[in-house]
Amino acid sequence: MFNFYGRRITKRELMEVFVFGGLSHANKQKKSLYDQWMRLDLAPLLQNEFIVIIFEIMNVAQFVKTLNERVLNDLPLAEKSEFNGRDHKSG
């Protein structure tokens, strides 16, 4: 995706640096790398790519949610109650 000083930066690494270094400061090495990246002229491009990655993740989550809803809606009523603890446990 990106190449900094001969080193390829993947989407996964970019996301991890932004999340664990920029947003949460949970990792000192990632925080240091994030700070370095934000001093570059390419910082706005990196920020935009992070937003695109998050958008892609949200699309996948929505897709999985839709698939789960379809599966649950297609189950017979008896099987649905097995997934809803209130129906058969609360009496």
Q: Contact 17/30 with Cβ under 8 angstroms? A: yes
Question: Among candidates 41, 1, 43, which has minimal Cα distance to 18?
Answer: 43
Buried b (16+ CB within 10 A) or exposed e, 8-20: ebeeeebbbbbbb
Along the 91 residues of the chain, how does pLDDT read in single tens digits? 778 778 899 999 999 999 999 998 889 999 999 999 999 998 999 999 999 999 999 999 999 999 999 998 888 765 666 666 655 444 4
